[in-house]
Amino acid sequence: MSKRIKITFFGLAGLLLLAVLLYQIPYINSVVSWRIEKFAIYAKNVINPVGPVPTALPVTPPPATPTTLATATLTPIVNLTPSITPTATFAPLPAQASIQSPAYEQQTPNNCGPAALSMALHMYGWEGNQTGIANFIKPITGDRNVNPEELRYYVRTQAGWLNLEYRVGGSVELLKRLLAANYPVIVESVTSLDPNDALGPTDDLWAAHYLLITGYDDNTQEFTIQDTYHGADLKISYTQLEAEWRPFNNLYLVMYFPQFEEEMKTLLGSDWDPSLNRQNALDSSQAAAAKDSADAFTWFNLGSNLVYFDRYEEAALAYDKARELGLPLRMFRYQFGPFLAYFHSNRNEDLLVLTDYARGITDMSEEAWLWYGFGLYRNGDYSGALKAWEKADKINPNFFEDQAQKAIDLVQ
């Protein structure tokens, strides 16, 4: 071997070793692995493009139709007596309100939930950052989603001097009421992704995104938001927020010191009671679904509100209609009510079809793998179910008090 070849060989070996060592640095690992994963996903979808959300399989005989479901009187099966007397009226709100913005925190990949929560916690004297939150509730960077239950769990277990509640069916008026009382609010809404983050050429670039809201102005009809993806102290119109909030059932999260719980009860009124809050949302979504203008998100929200009350067959039909009208390809990365509805209404093939589609869109989704496993288990494929549950457990070992491990125990 010539001297020049030896130098080249050892030089390349040295560069390779350096690259391996640099890859062990957490920040570099996060950035590089994320880009490698994006490239692999894009290449896969160039060869096999992502298709639209599959429509539901025929139901024979159908227990009801979406039209009758939207106009029926749905009586909840739980006691909806509120724990407090709902406030009939509220004092007029000021035309403007603003809470001092926290230090801005740019999200790392797939981390808008922990980053938004981190900024909100800073407003209450907390001193951590999004990394600590993510390591606790989503230790794998590739895990694309954080549920509101996980954010609440973090606050209640790791910042016990605070409390966090989340509700659905929020409104612009409610957000303003909370902000005027000096409570910042986190909402889950829609964002448009950078084209560089596309799954493939046919990607609709539709994704969920947590926003921290810190102010409002009736004169301009705008909220002030802290957006971990796009920037600090941005403005968004009331109308735009309403449109982008609706696909997630107008979900909102608010934190408070436990000693101010009575004030929070007053601010939320009847929505303080979780079941009554969900009944309010069900009534609203049912009325919206009865209109000719009802779209896929209207029907999806109706399904999710029905799932809360264990009305799985009715919920499945509402989800059927949403799928028929057309949903964004990432919808099942963030919301999993259809999995419960199809499983509990014994529509196992729909469960398998939809969870398989969800896994194709987002392989790193513990929820999709968990329910895919249940579909396989019900079909008698115990080996396949075990592999699916092991995958869910690997993605997030802390997943909902280790639901994946509990499922694994069924076949071991």
Give the model's confidence band at 193: pLDDT under 50 very low, under 70 low, under 90 confident, else very high.
confident
pLDDT top residue among 66 and 115? 115
Q: Assess whether 159 and 225 both reside in one domain.
A: yes
- Label residue 42 exposed, middle or buried (CB < 10 Å: 0-12, 13-18, 19+): middle
Residue 155 maps to a domain? yes
Q: Residue 69 pLDDT > 90, yes or no? A: no
The contacts of residue 49 (CB under 8 Å, 6+ apart) are 200, 201, 202
Same domain? 21 vs 151: no
Which residue has tokens 């925190």? 105
Out of 224, 254, 272, pick the residue that ends a domain: 272
Average pLDDT over residues 174-178: 98
Q: Are residues 9 and 120 both part of a single domain? A: no
Compute the average pLDDT of residues 251-257.
Answer: 97
Is residue 325 situated within a structural domain? no
**19 belongs to a structural domain:** yes
* End residue of a domain, out of 226, 248, 272: 272
From residue 264, alpha-carbon distances to 163, 174, 183, 268 in Å are 11, 12, 9, 6
Say whether pLDDT at 371 is over 90. Answer: yes
Neighbour tally for 279: CB within 10 Å: 23
Q: Tell me if 39 is assigned to some domain.
A: yes
* Contact between 52 and 326 (Cβ < 8 Å): yes
Cβ 358 vs Cβ 368: under 8 Å: yes
pLDDT at 23: 46
pLDDT at site 263: 97
Residue-wise pLDDT for 3-57, tens only, equals 666 665 555 565 556 544 554 555 555 555 555 555 566 666 667 777 899 999 9
**Mean pLDDT (whole number) for 146-165:** 94
Residue 373 confidence (pLDDT) above 90: yes
233 in the same domain as 132: yes
Closest to 390 (Cα-Cα) out of 379, 378, 403: 403
- Does residue 107 share a domain with residue 197? yes
Same domain flag for 157 and 255: yes
Give yes or no: residues 19 and 127 share one domain. no
| Same domain membership, residue 167 and residue 37 | no
Q: Are residues 249 and 100 in the same domain?
A: yes
Is the pLDDT at 88 greater than 70? The verdict is no
pLDDT in tens, 96-113: 999 999 999 999 988 999
Q: Alpha-carbon distance 388 to 366, whole Å?
A: 9
The residue ranges of DSSP E strands in 10-121, in sequence order, are: 96-98
Does 197 fall in a domain?
yes
- Report if residue 70 sits inside a domain: no
**Does residue 144 surpass a pLDDT of 80?**
yes
**pLDDT, the chain, mean:** 87
Do 40 and 103 reside in the same domain of the chain? no
Q: Please, what is the angle between helix 148-158 and helix 130-137, to 10°?
A: 110
Q: Which structural domain range is residue 103 located in?
A: 96-272
pLDDT at 78: 46
How does DSSP assign 72-85, residue by residue? Answer: S----SS----SSP
Confidence of residue 142 (pLDDT cuts 50, 70, 90): confident
Q: Report the pLDDT averaged over residues 261-276.
A: 96
| CATH, residue 204 | 3.90.70.10
Assess whether 206 and 137 both reside in one domain. Answer: yes
In the chain, the number of structural domains is 2
147-168 average pLDDT score: 94
Q: Per-residue DSSP letters for 182-237?
A: T--EEEEEEEEPPGGG-SSTT---EEEEEEEEEEEETTTTEEEEEETTTEEEEEEE
Residues 39 and 112 in one domain: no
Count of alpha carbons within 13 angstroms of residue 152, beta-carbon side: 11
| pLDDT of the residue at 355 | 98
State the greatest distance between any 2 C-alpha atoms of the chain, in Å, as a whole number.
Answer: 89
Alpha carbons 323 and 321: distance in angstroms, whole number: 5
Examine residue 178 and state whether it is found in any structural domain, yes or no.
yes
**Within a domain: residue 356?**
no
Q: Is the pLDDT of residue 392 over 50?
A: yes
Residue 168 pLDDT > 50: yes
